[in-house]
Structure 1
Amino acid sequence: MKHWYVYIMANKRNGVIYIGVTDDIEERVKEHKLK
């Protein structure tokens, strides 16, 4: 059974909130931090 994650991340500098779904939360956090 595959796990899915709902995430809410914020970019304080830009005042943006990101909401989404992913099956690889660690990779998604890395992608978010690189942008």
Structure 2
Amino acid sequence: IYEKHAQLDGVWRDVVIVERLLPGTIANPPAEW
């Protein structure tokens, strides 16, 4: 999963990691999205 996201964009990789740590990220996506 991490590898696939990393290939799409470095940001997605961070998002996946943060997503697991903070599920609220989906409800309140960062300005970068």
Greater helix share, structure number = 2
TM-score (norm 1): 0.32
Rg (Cα) greater in structure = 1
Greater strand share, structure number = 1
TM-score (norm 2): 0.33
> Relative CO higher for 1 or 2, CA cutoff 8 Å, sep ≥ 6?
1
